[in-house]
Copies of this chain bind each other. A is one copy, B any other.
Amino acid sequence: MLMKTAPLYLRSADDASHPQARACASCAVRKDALFGALDAQGLERIHAHIASPSLQADERIFTQGQTAAALYTIRNGIVRFERAASDGARRILRLAGRGDLIGQEALLLQPYNDDAVACTPVELCRIPQHLVQDLAAGESAVTRELMTRWQHALQEATRWADDLRSGNARRRVLQLLRVLSRHPDEQDRIWLPRREEMADMLDLTVETASRCVSQLRREHVIQTLPPRHALLNAALLAQAVQAADS
């Protein structure tokens, strides 16, 4: 692509027409960040809309469930994603650091999935959602579908850590049954993993998994139908899940 002027990042900072252009051009993480691939013309179009907020430790960037208006690149510092369990306990689901993009769900017009909170003093680059949509205006429907699926995979992976790797054995088995109940077969039976598979999903031993399933069978929450199938009592399951993490 031919450019009439030198790329913005090659100009000296003080030629730039807009104050934020200087900030963007001299940004230490620009080459690693979302807009690293953008040329000078692209950068010119966006810098007026970008802000560079700084936060102190324990300040919140966004909140779970909030309508997502912007995504952020982390220029410096560490951010944690957390979520409040129904019993009030907090679960920290992952960290993000310099160069990472957070709040991508904004692009899909979804609410934020978790709280994002600064662990250390943090410097951000705030990118309004509409800006990326404009830049990606030429994108095909397939591209958008792809992003939606990527986000879905991310949510599932997060849910796995949150639901199946937290709490005691009984709670984990119950949560697994809840996940499996979303994939019923034609006769409304669920696929019930081998005890060894359950163990590897929940980070338990085979014996503990077996003991939990047996207990739930005695409570009529589940009825096992060998081989590797089962019927769930949805009401009792919901009740047991509720009781287990409150």
Q: List residues of chain A with CB under 8 Å of any chain B CB.
A: 34-38, 42, 78, 80, 82, 89-98, 100-102, 104, 107, 119-120, 132, 135-136, 138-147, 149-154, 156-158, 160-161, 165-167, 179, 182-183, 191, 193, 197, 200-201, 203
| 11 further contact pairs, Cβ within 8 A, besides A97-B183, A166-B203 | A34-B145, A38-B142, A80-B201, A120-B191, A136-B142, A136-B143, A136-B146, A139-B140, A161-B161, A165-B165, A165-B166
A-B contact pairs, 22 of them (CB 8 A): A34-B146, A38-B141, A80-B197, A82-B200, A94-B157, A95-B156, A96-B153, A100-B153, A100-B156, A101-B149, A120-B191, A132-B142, A132-B146, A136-B143, A138-B139, A138-B140, A139-B140, A139-B143, A154-B157, A157-B158, A165-B203, A167-B203
Whether the Cβ atoms of B136 and A201 lie closer than 8 Å is: no
CB-CB under 8 A from A98, the residues of chain B are 183
CB-CB under 8 A from A36, the residues of chain B are 145
A138 to B142, CA, bound (A): 11
User: Whole-angstrom distance from the CB of A28 to the nearest CB of chain B?
Assistant: 12
- Measured CB to CB, the nearest residue on chain B to A89 is B200
Whether the Cβ atoms of B142 and A135 lie closer than 8 Å is: yes
A92 to B165, CA, bound (A): 11
CB-CB under 8 A from A191, the residues of chain B are 78, 119-120
User: Whole-angstrom distance from the CB of A80 to the nearest CB of chain B?
Assistant: 7
Whether the Cβ atoms of B150 and A104 lie closer than 8 Å is: yes
Closest 9 CB pairs of A and B: A37-B141, A165-B165, A161-B161, A150-B150, A101-B149, A157-B157, A92-B201, A97-B183, A94-B160
